[in-house]
Structure 1
Amino acid sequence: MPDAIAYISRDTDGVLWKKTLEAALGPLDFRTLDKLGDKADIEVALAWKPPAGLIASFPNVKLIVSLGMGVDHLLADDKLPESVPITRIMDDGLVGQMSEYAIYWALRHHRDIDKYAASQRAKQWKVEDFVDTLHRRIGILGLGTIGQDTAKKFAALGFPTAGWSRTQKTLPGIETFHGADGLGRLLARSDILVNVLPLTRDTKGLLDARLFAALPKGAYLINMARGGHVMDDDLLAALDSGHLSGAALDVFNTEPLPPEHRYWTHPKVHVTPHIAGATNPRTASPGVIENIKNLRAGKPLINTVDAKTGY
């Protein structure tokens, strides 16, 4: 019977994943992208941005695991076998990293650190006007696992925090909005907007000129979801006009970000290379291990994905 596990990622060689899985499951036929062998042996595909059509070439694959909490990188492949279940990792470590990223950039903006850094370079002792935390409103786009964790941590710091989701959700201490009408209401009260939405047909290009115009003047954007959410020209125009005061961007429409892109040199943009949250096998593996056991025992899988909604 096919029982090989294929690790399909160009980012790392999979050694740590192999070690972690074997500690729980025993010796494995663990194969990497450059040493797949007979594809008919592959039962499970652990994948991050797999080459288009590759997973469909595994005739006996029974489980596809996204090595990220998002699955748009898988669903972009129109040859993905429809009958094979897709699951995603639920990684507490990654969730924590993402909220740290949002809080860092929000606090940096909130406390005018860039302005003080410029004053230091100019050897100027200059005190900036202080905005009280109670008057700096945080808006979170997306209230999945990462969005909820991020919202709760902002609220714990004393920021008036609200979140938006496609369908109605309730979070203690967090003002929540949903649907098309709710999006406009969230934007109108967001001085710092944090995007953690999944990338789907409905959310692609959502961060456009109309959305930026709905934010208060001087609002700040933190995008740590997907680059495909942002219409780049619209964001640059909003920054150039002064309507937005700045942006911290971790994800981009093209990655790596091309050297000629204006984001690299724009004075109001901070660029990081898709590092807001990195999958850690130590914290991400428990659900993967459980699903491999469940698959082989004929039990229901956890953390399954609906390919139609994209999450």
Structure 2
Amino acid sequence: MNAIPPLQPTPEGEAGAGPAIGVYLSSQLDLMAIFGEATDPRLVLLRPEEVEDPAAVTCALCWQAPADGFARYPNLKVAGSIAAGVDHILACPSLPEDVIVTRVRDDSQADLMAGFAAFHVVWHHRRMDDFVEWNRQGRWVRTDRPAEPCETTVGVLGYGLMGRAVARAVSAMGFAVVAAARNPAQGEAGVEVIAGEDALGRVAERSQILINVLPLTEATRDVLDAALFARMPKGACLIHIGRGEQMVEEDLLAALDSGRIAAASVDVFRKEPPGDDHPFWAHPRVFVTPHRASDTSRHATVRQLADAISAVAEGREPANRVDRRKGY
């Protein structure tokens, strides 16, 4: 396979002999500080204030770009997310219709997500929150033998790269796994896949432990709500590692307080960080983590953006292009 040649954007936005010029776009993070050491010879990334010729910029590395962030760059071809989710790019009002949006597909990120989910499955299955509390109290409490993993159904909402890795890891521990997918898919060994309009609800009904790894789209916004919680078995547990806007936090609080949901692990919030007065902080049945279920490799993120702009310059389809209609 031939190596991809280096690129040189001209003021007219055409590829030449040198590296492509890209820009970091974020209203929340200093992306240069995070990704500055992750270099690729095909790409030079600059802060917006470092860009002398906006017409030379052909790609952007993004996280929560400013509302007018894309408007300055008339020859932009690719807007790449630093993560698997792209909703923050698609929601930006200055994103041109013809700009290709890409996401990161990182097997190591999926492995991190799977390990995080597996840990929390065991945490809830073995009721480790009780042991932590008894430990604080200095109490030695021997509980009854827990249910066999094969007798416990773990549901996975979402069966893409992340969902497959999570389902695989949980199944390997002996749990019965059922996954909800948008489209019919062949499940791996030990994983049953349910697809269709009511797939999320059908999976929720069977899940003693429910893991959310869905992408954020208009169809999945607020999907973790009172109606879904009411369909779960009484005393089930929730592991929320998707996107914050997918859960109605007041509904989870009510489900916890009523006993419908026994416990929850929450890694993502509608507003991050949550306020000091957020009720989940002090709730005895909520395990809060600061959006750390997984992360992308810095080098893979930059490399994949370079791959994408190189592909576009050569008239090829970028491997990680997002379907803007679907949102993933």
TM-score > 0.5 by shorter chain: yes
* 2:62 pairs with 1:44: no
User: Deviations for 1:184-235, whole angstroms, at most 9, x for unmatched residues?
Assistant: 3211110110001111111111111110010001111111111111111111
Residue in 1 that maps onto 2:141: 126
| Structure 1 unmatched runs, 5+ | none
Q: 1:236 aligns with which of 253, 259, 270?
A: 253
Checking the alignment, whether the CA contact within 8 Å between 1:92 and 1:284 is kept in structure 2 is no
Q: Which has the higher helix share?
A: 1
* 2:26 pairs with 1:11: no
**Root mean square deviation of aligned Cα:** 1.7
Q: Please report how far the alpha carbon of residue 67 of structure 1 lies from its aligned counterpart in structure 2 after TM superposition.
A: 1.0
TM-score if structure 1 supplies the norm length?
A: 0.93
| Structure 2 residue matching 1:21: 3-state secondary structure | coil
| Structure 2 unmatched runs, 5+ | 1-9, 12-19
Q: 2:188 aligns with which of 164, 172, 181?
A: 172
| Structure 1 residue matching 2:180: 3-state secondary structure | strand
User: Deviations for 1:135-168, whole angstroms, at most 9, x for unmatched residues?
Assistant: 1210000011000110011111100001001211
What count of residue pairs does the alignment treat as equivalent?
308
One-letter amino acid matched to 1:137: T
Checking the alignment, whether the CA contact within 8 Å between 2:61 and 2:305 is kept in structure 1 is no
| Structure 2 residue matching 1:193: 3-state secondary structure | strand
Paired-residue identity, %: 37
Checking the alignment, whether the CA contact within 8 Å between 2:58 and 2:309 is kept in structure 1 is no
* 2:165 pairs with 1:161: no
Q: Please report how far the alpha carbon of residue 34 of structure 1 lies from its aligned counterpart in structure 2 after TM superposition.
A: 4.6
Pair 227,165 (structure 1): closer, same or farther in 2 beyond 3 Å: same
- Provide the rounded CA distance (Å) in 2 between the counterparts of 1:243 and 1:225: 21
User: Deviations for 1:114-133, whole angstroms, at most 9, x for unmatched residues?
Assistant: 21122222222211221211
- Provide the rounded CA distance (Å) in 1 between the counterparts of 2:32 and 2:229: 40
- Provide the rounded CA distance (Å) in 2 between the counterparts of 1:67 and 1:20: 12
* 2:105 pairs with 1:90: yes
Q: 2:118 aligns with which of 87, 93, 103?
A: 103
Residue in 1 that maps onto 2:290: 273
- Provide the rounded CA distance (Å) in 2 between the counterparts of 1:305 and 1:237: 36
Q: Please report how far the alpha carbon of residue 178 of structure 1 lies from its aligned counterpart in structure 2 after TM superposition.
A: 1.3
Q: Please report how far the alpha carbon of residue 30 of structure 1 lies from its aligned counterpart in structure 2 after TM superposition.
A: 2.4
| Structure 2 residue matching 1:134: 3-state secondary structure | helix
Q: 1:302 aligns with which of 319, 322, 328?
A: 319
Q: 2:203 aligns with which of 164, 174, 186?
A: 186
Residue in 2 that maps onto 1:218: 235
- Provide the rounded CA distance (Å) in 2 between the counterparts of 1:243 and 1:61: 49
Residue in 2 that maps onto 1:150: 166
Pair 274,37 (structure 1): closer, same or farther in 2 beyond 3 Å: farther
- Provide the rounded CA distance (Å) in 2 between the counterparts of 1:12 and 1:21: 16
Checking the alignment, whether the CA contact within 8 Å between 1:209 and 1:234 is kept in structure 2 is yes
User: Deviations for 1:77-122, whole angstroms, at most 9, x for unmatched residues?
Assistant: 1331001111111112211111111111111111222211222222
Pair 272,35 (structure 1): closer, same or farther in 2 beyond 3 Å: farther
Residue in 1 that maps onto 2:273: 256
* 2:36 pairs with 1:21: no
One-letter amino acid matched to 1:309: K
